[in-house]
Structure 1
Amino acid sequence: MAFKNVAVEPKTGKKIFTQEEVYQATLNYFKGDDLAARVWINKYALKDSFGNIYEKSPDDMHKRLAKEIARIEKKYENPMNEAQIYELLKEFKHIVPQGGPMTGIGNDYQIASLSNCFVVGNEGNSDSYGGIMKIDQEQVQLMKRRGGVGHDLSHIRPKGSPVKNSALTSTGIVPFMERYSNSTREVAQDGRRGALMLSVSIKHPDSEQFIDAKMEQGKVTGANVSVKIHDDFMQSIESGTPYLQQYPIEAEKPVFEKETNASKIWNKIVHNAWKSAEPGILFWDTITRESVPDCYADMGYKTVSTNPCGEIPLCPYDSCRLLAINLYSYVENPFTPEAKFNFDKFKEHVAYAQRMMDDIIDLELEKIDAIIGKIDADPEDDDIKQTERKLWEKIQTKAREGRRTGVGITAEGDMLAALGLRYGVEDATDFSEEIHKTLAVEAYRSSVNLAKERGSFTIYDTEREKNNPMINRIREQDEALYKDMTKHGRRNIALLTIAPTGTTSLMTQTTSGIEPVFMPVYKRRRKVNPNDKDVRVDFIDEVGDSWEEYIVFHHKFVTWMKAKGHRTDKQYSQDELDKLVAQSPYYKATSNDVDWLSKVRMQGRIQKWVDHSISVTINLPSDVEEELVGKLYFEAWKSGCKGVTVYRDGSRAGVLVSNKKEEKKKDDKSSFPTKRPDELEADVVRFQNNKEKWVAFIGLVGDLPYEIFTGLQDDEDGILLPRSVTKGKIIKGHDEEGNSRYDFQYENKRGYKTTIEGLSYKFNPVFWNYAKLISGILRHGMPIHKVVDTVTSLQLDNETINSWKAGVARALKKYIPNGTVAEGTVCGECGSSNVIYQEGCLTCPDCGSSKCG
């Protein structure tokens, strides 16, 4: 039961705050920033499973974190005290633990890991069904504890390989991509779905199918995918020579080899990334060559994949926790001629940040003990619990043995602007490189000092690391530090990363991670009642709802305005806003303005001082040619980047809708015929209803859904349809008795037409009646997002995620025009009401979160 009418939780005696109390206190804390307030309340405020809130504002959270970190500090020499730690954390000014640490430290209401990310894998690269299912279960077990997961598929036999079971040949990689993706979609994480990265080596014979897997509508929607590109592949493209794929990919005597055209595969990667922003690229030889943990590859630290955003390459069963240092906070006299970066204070705080990260590892080990204790206490049979328990034992071993940390930064864009430097130009990149060089040296110095006080990570070996490029750069920068490290060791096997800091940056009120400002000024909308007094209506949507538009300034742009004497309390015209931006250091320095090649080169230079990797996106306008993506990838490889992702404006939608659909601004019911045509173009969408596989045939008029048929797929009494069929026609005719009949016709690979007769006969009678209802309201032109709402409100017996109505709703969401406002919906990540549909998913432009299905 929920304790709605009490002010104190009975068992612990802790005070419970009302939602309104917390909102008002947090809104005041963030000086009126509603978005930051809602983000903190929804994601980070201490809550129990009943929704009771035990922290009134972020200040309470920072005290909670400081208390717990100080408790760990007391175990060691020269401890930091609680007041020191609180000063570093308060107001999100200097040091910001990210995600899991901020939510989980000192949280006794949930048993969850503090780690932001994990990688799993099979010892010996087993690709048996048992091994593949074990990975599936491990992935789910980690996601239910709030972690993002990555794993590699290169160990799975290519399609057509002989196997010793009833199938006789392997199905290859793609079906297992779907399995892992579906598992991710089904795991709830406090209102979010899990996050998954799937990777495969370009050497694998099925890599081309992997690259294409997400291009089919509705496929692998629960995973990010990245291709591990090797140097010899890039060299084959440059030289125009054939490329040899093989399985196993690292075998000296492979059982299967295949010569392929590297340029053809490369062009496919470039095209798909241009069209859909995936696959991402991982320059795998650069990753492993630079990796410090790979000096211990034979001891279990061989890097195999990355976390979902790509910034932490990991070995199997290792994990990482993240922390960001707010770079803007070290700029004195920002946006003035006297602006300067306080390097002394920065160095001091980097040392503290690394120390706190090491403390958080101890806190994580305590959490893992609690998770294992929970598993042991569960009433399930031991054989059911065995996989989960062994999983956490392996993670515990890696965390204790390697003590990996993830110290990073946020506010790079604001830092540069505050110093009068324009993001992307040479002098700004020079300064950024100096910042990250300083960060690397001081973090390593702190880890060496920790080794003196607390001992090195248990397998540290100077000899193993002597030829590592990252270690040698540290040595060249500070010979005395290197000698100290060879004598005392280092506390942590790897230390640094640059992660995306989306919600973190909303609370620091700065630019995110290493990225430039998205826009210094932008518009938002809020729904209004036009009958209210003094309300202003700027926009009326297609269903008649009224909206007020208002200007939002990036926080540090306001700081610049104040520094330059510009008023912040007046209504500016668009022309005035444009002139303001043109005077500021943010001019020509937004994510869409920055020169793309310069940004890639900047990433490469900074990457040399980051021992893990960097999560960064190259934003491109919608009208760029595909060739540019290829040039950016090549530049990234040559510049020493470990990975790169491009996003062409609007490209996500390109996978799921045609160009005509993109051009359609709203549902155009006037184009619907009053009489059903004899033939309709149709899309095929597959989904799952519990454990049954279903297929939907969606008849289209003017690229909008007009009717829907659904039935069981590949069942004895169902619809036999090849997986490759995604389009066809629905033909209305009559049977021998003169009754109406709807047939589906498609062309097979040889160009012959095949007809599936009597779609209506394939229905469960109950679902048939619901489908008639849905088709009726579609034909009368109800906006599609309203049709989806109707479908999801149907009262059916089965309410699981894979129910028939959920599958139909997901199918129809693909046709919601991009930008359609989701009225009455609030973002589950940040609380914003500015939620729209994008490629069929509910997307929040304010924090970037996306919810599909």
Structure 2
Amino acid sequence: MTRFAAPIAEQIWDMKYRLKQADGTPIDLSVEDTWRRIARSLSSVEADPALWEDRFYTALEDFKYLPAGRITAGAGTNRSVTLFNCFVMGTIPDNMGGIFEMLKEAAVTMQQGGGIGYDFSTIRPKGAPVAGVAADASGPLSFMDVWDSMCRTIMSAGSRRGAMMATMRCDHPDIEDFIGAKSDSARLRMFNLSVLVTDAFMAAVKADAPWELQFDGVVYHTLPARDLWNKIMRGTYDYAEPGVIFIDRINQANNLNYCETISATNPCGEQPLPPYGACLLGSINMARLVNDPFTGDAHLDEAALDELVATAVRMMDNVVDASKFPLEAQRLEAMNKRRIGLGVTGLADALLMVRLRYGSEEAARQTARWLKRIARAAYLASVQLAKEKGAFPLFDAEGYLASGTMMAMDEDVREAVRAHGIRNALVTSIAPTGTISLYAGNVSSGIEPVFAYSYTRKVLQKDGTRTEEEIADYAVTLYREMYGADAELPEYFVNAQTLAPLEHVRMQAAAQKWVDSSISKTINCPEDISFEDFKDVYLEAFETGCKGCTTYRPNAVTGSVLSVSEDSSAMRMKTARKKAGLTQHDLAVALDVNQATISKLENLGVEKFGKIEELASAMQVSAAWLRFGQGAPEIVATDAAEPRQPHGDVVYMSEPLDRPQALEGNTYKLKWPDSEHAIYLTINDIIVGGHRRPFEVFINSKNMEHFAWTVALTRMISAVFRRGGDVSFVVEELKAVFDPRGGAWVQGKYIPSILAAIGGVIERHMVSTGFLEGEGMGLKSDPQAQVVNLDQPRGPACPNCGQLDLRMVEGCMTCGSCGHSKCS
């Protein structure tokens, strides 16, 4: 028996959370060992460790409470790592010595595995005079470039992936340069960017008033507020950045506004933090708490929820005492305020289980009720801890209860805080849970909707081959177990692609009311959303009480996913079938597929390749309507994809050919964004059987770091070419190489590594000489033209596993196949 609901869950545990010796030998022999390790570590600070170890273990058991990945991987390991996920660093002084002292602190923090947030608004703008040196300031963006390089250096040294957030106030003189920074695909790749938007600015936007850009009381420039707002919107419309943080609302609602001012957040935005503030995260798995799912008696076990929340709060409070900190200032900040961020995951699955459609008004009301229940239980648990262990050191009853969040809390909770104090200054936050959601059986992530009901994941085996496995959403799997594998999913099953953007906003606003920190959530927008409608999403987020807004609109720059609106082919296909008087079974028989396939087709609006004519006939509609007219994406099924042969005849040689005195060839210049020097490729061809084919390659670069591998690549590729035969696999192999540090956008296309870029150059040469018919043709498994599963959303290539399954989740690009995330 295994506790894991799916193979993906066990793989994630083994890869990211299982404690192992340096040589890879497992110390945690089972996931129960992992739970026991965490429980023992976090109970060690208790007066009765044995009692609390068992209670903590019970909370962890069966993935009911999910500490953040840093805690799960690090607690009880005696390793020099922090258990806190992310930090906001100190205020950056406006002088060279202070700036580079902050850079050093950032490097130390990232080296121990902490993501960081910074407000760069404190640095004087570009062109401002620098007293005493007769020079002008280079501006905050120049120093952000230095931070970006530092992050890449730390990451390339083998540490955890870098994750940074940079914020800038909407009235800083360099704000326009900040907004447009990501238009350069090679710049600030280690940063997420967000603009700190004030209430005054939003009022100016509504009134179409002028807006002053100033620093230290000096006005540098005045422009219409709407022009600046449109620039922010255009940046995120085109590049998914910058995000927007409603900073005044954050400070007004902050329980600690009497003793701190916030101007930055952690990399995903769910934790607005003061200088040296740390974010400590964990999630209640709502999907595990629903009784009688998918029936008229379905309900969330609220008593179990209250008990689980109380235990989770105690565990998280203990992390403050058990964790190491990169800097002493971070430790003091954490000890003085003891803020924690308890959130949820599996919310969308829980809503499905109680038969509510995510995004509906009733689902929003239910979400608000559940989140209020969690907030009440968390505050009362923290009050109980204060009675037992003492309130956080900076607690001031009157100041605390006068904050925006606590003013809305129930009077009995307020009275308990007034009477006894509270252990943790802030208690709730909804963080990205992409990886731990997979670990928990692929429950829906955070408060996000289900992204896809199921998809095929390619798993890399030890021998280098890949196997395929079906990954299904937790609620969908449970529904199929209850009602049969071919059961048609009810109408309330919706996913991220079929929801209107304003439905996403509705859910975020409903949750935000009872979350005292913030929420990491992505509002998915269709690619064809108009710019005006897109702007309305942000205005609605502001008007309905959200603390920030992050959107994702797939396009050529951000990467596309298959999106289907409710008014699209999926709904029309189902309607057409019903008008024709056909059941799903009838249609399955007509198309010679099983009924589950028809259900997938109708839920996602895609057709089975090679069966479009039959499908059109059965539904009494035209094939053109299915293929093109209503926007249903045409997907090539696995059994229909036949590899094309190279244009030239394949000539196999037992011995390599001698090199002629002269060969015809071409030289190509390849400029990689992160490389100081260009790479030059010379490809020479030979005529065999009347056809031109590649014979040798020379790869050269002035960058000495490239010398060894370019020489090796030159010799190996040339040796392969001289053997003859179908050498197109060289292109395949090179294009399939994915750099774990990330690839780059080159001419609007994501290239996963510099080796993949070299493969692309060789492929284009083969096309130009007629050896291949076209890009992606003649390749058996071109990673940029591979077969897509019927219900698999397709995004950019993942830099970790290479799958075309990156999507924006909770404010961060996350791989649905392996769980890789820039931010976790």
TM-score of the pair, normalised by structure 2: 0.72
CA contact (8 A) 1:424 1:598 kept: yes
CA contact (8 A) 1:310 1:614 kept: yes
Q: Distance in 2 between matches of 1:58 and 1:654?
A: 36
Q: 1:190 to 1:323 in 2, by over 3 A?
A: farther
Question: What is aligned with 1:405?
Answer: 340
Q: 1:450 to 1:552 in 2, by over 3 A?
A: closer
> Displacement of 1:226 after TM fit?
1.1
Q: Distance in 2 between matches of 1:470 and 1:846?
A: 38
Q: 1:791 to 1:468 in 2, by over 3 A?
A: closer
Question: What is aligned with 1:826?
Answer: none
Question: What is aligned with 1:102?
Answer: 72
SS for the counterpart of 2:456 is strand
Q: 1:116 to 1:165 in 2, by over 3 A?
A: same
**Residue in structure 2 matching 1:229, options 197, 220, 225:** 197
> Displacement of 1:80 after TM fit?
4.7
Question: What is aligned with 2:598?
Answer: none
Q: Distance in 1 between matches of 2:158 and 2:276?
A: 24
> Displacement of 1:781 after TM fit?
7.8
Q: Distance in 1 between matches of 2:461 and 2:105?
A: 47
Question: What is aligned with 1:280?
Answer: 243
**Residue in structure 2 matching 1:638, options 515, 524, 543:** 543
Q: Distance in 2 between matches of 1:669 and 1:185?
A: 40
Q: Distance in 2 between matches of 1:667 and 1:238?
A: 57
Q: Distance in 2 between matches of 1:356 and 1:630?
A: 41
**Residue in structure 2 matching 1:522, options 455, 458, 461:** 455
Q: Distance in 1 between matches of 2:682 and 2:179?
A: 29
**Residue in structure 2 matching 1:291, options 248, 254, 261:** 254
Q: 1:294 to 1:269 in 2, by over 3 A?
A: same
Q: 1:421 to 1:130 in 2, by over 3 A?
A: same
Question: What is aligned with 1:115?
Answer: 84
Q: Distance in 1 between matches of 2:711 and 2:203?
A: 59
> Displacement of 1:192 after TM fit?
3.7
Question: What is aligned with 1:471?
Answer: 406
Question: What is aligned with 1:318?
Answer: 277
Quick one: percent identity of the two aligned structures?
31
Matched, 1:34 2:21: no
Question: What is aligned with 1:11?
Answer: none
Question: What is aligned with 2:432?
Answer: 500
**Residue in structure 1 matching 2:482, options 525, 541, 563:** 563
**Residue in structure 1 matching 2:674, options 670, 683, 687:** 687
Question: What is aligned with 1:450?
Answer: 385
Question: What is aligned with 1:146?
Answer: 113
Give the counterpart letter for 1:159 in structure 2.
K
Q: Distance in 2 between matches of 1:153 and 1:618?
A: 26
Q: Distance in 2 between matches of 1:328 and 1:789?
A: 37
> Displacement of 1:186 after TM fit?
2.1
> Displacement of 1:48 after TM fit?
3.3
Q: Distance in 1 between matches of 2:754 and 2:510?
A: 48
Question: What is aligned with 1:358?
Answer: 317
CA shift digits 1:577-600 (9 cap, x unpaired):
xx723x3642xx201112210220
> Displacement of 1:492 after TM fit?
1.1
Q: Distance in 1 between matches of 2:89 and 2:164?
A: 11
> Displacement of 1:220 after TM fit?
1.0
Q: Distance in 2 between matches of 1:463 and 1:288?
A: 17
> Displacement of 1:257 after TM fit?
3.0
CA contact (8 A) 1:306 1:312 kept: yes
1:770-809 map, 5 Å: 786-787=733-734, 809=755
CA shift digits 1:117-150 (9 cap, x unpaired):
111023xx41212222122211111111111111
> Displacement of 1:81 after TM fit?
2.9
> Displacement of 1:41 after TM fit?
0.9
Q: Distance in 1 between matches of 2:527 and 2:15?
A: 33
Question: What is aligned with 1:726?
Answer: none
Q: 1:847 to 1:620 in 2, by over 3 A?
A: farther
CA shift digits 1:779-827 (9 cap, x unpaired):
x98876644679999xxxxxxxxxxxx995587699999953899xxxx
SS for the counterpart of 1:96 is strand
Q: 1:526 to 1:436 in 2, by over 3 A?
A: closer
1:754-769 map, 5 Å: none
SS for the counterpart of 1:622 is coil
Q: 1:277 to 1:683 in 2, by over 3 A?
A: farther
Q: 1:770 to 1:850 in 2, by over 3 A?
A: farther
CA shift digits 1:34-86 (9 cap, x unpaired):
2111111111111233333201111001111222222222269xx95322221
Matched, 1:590 2:495: yes
Q: Distance in 1 between matches of 2:137 and 2:47?
A: 55
Aligned residues: 666
CA contact (8 A) 2:287 2:347 kept: yes
SS for the counterpart of 1:445 is helix
Question: What is aligned with 1:60?
Answer: 33
CA contact (8 A) 1:822 1:835 kept: no
Q: 1:354 to 1:546 in 2, by over 3 A?
A: closer
Q: 1:419 to 1:130 in 2, by over 3 A?
A: same
CA shift digits 1:419-465 (9 cap, x unpaired):
11111101111000000111111111111111111111111112223
**Residue in structure 1 matching 2:162, options 191, 194, 198:** 194
Q: Distance in 2 between matches of 1:326 and 1:222?
A: 30
Q: Distance in 1 between matches of 2:243 and 2:680?
A: 32
> Displacement of 1:414 after TM fit?
0.7
SS for the counterpart of 1:609 is coil
**Residue in structure 1 matching 2:784, options 820, 824, 827:** 820
Question: What is aligned with 1:259?
Answer: 222
Question: What is aligned with 1:539?
Answer: none
Q: 1:850 to 1:599 in 2, by over 3 A?
A: closer
Q: 1:782 to 1:169 in 2, by over 3 A?
A: farther
Q: Distance in 2 between matches of 1:445 and 1:207?
A: 42
CA contact (8 A) 2:450 2:495 kept: yes
Give the counterpart letter for 1:342 in structure 2.
D
Structure 1: state its 5+ residue gaps. Answer: 1-24, 249-253, 369-390, 533-544, 569-575, 656-662, 701-705, 713-761, 794-805, 824-828
1:642-721 map, 5 Å: 642-650=547-555, 652-653=557-558, 685-688=672-675, 693-694=676-677
Matched, 1:204 2:137: no
SS for the counterpart of 2:194 is strand
Question: What is aligned with 2:47?
Answer: 74
Q: Distance in 2 between matches of 1:156 and 1:695?
A: 34
CA contact (8 A) 2:736 2:802 kept: no
Q: 1:707 to 1:272 in 2, by over 3 A?
A: farther
Q: Distance in 1 between matches of 2:330 and 2:434?
A: 27
CA contact (8 A) 2:447 2:521 kept: yes
Question: What is aligned with 1:415?
Answer: 350
Question: What is aligned with 1:338?
Answer: 297
> Displacement of 1:710 after TM fit?
5.9
CA contact (8 A) 1:696 1:808 kept: no
CA contact (8 A) 1:70 1:82 kept: yes
Q: Distance in 1 between matches of 2:647 and 2:424?
A: 65
Give the counterpart letter for 1:66 in structure 2.
A
Q: 1:626 to 1:194 in 2, by over 3 A?
A: same
> Displacement of 1:103 after TM fit?
1.4
Give the counterpart letter for 2:417 in structure 1.
M
Aligned Cα root-mean-square deviation (Å): 4.2
CA contact (8 A) 2:127 2:136 kept: yes
CA contact (8 A) 2:171 2:214 kept: yes
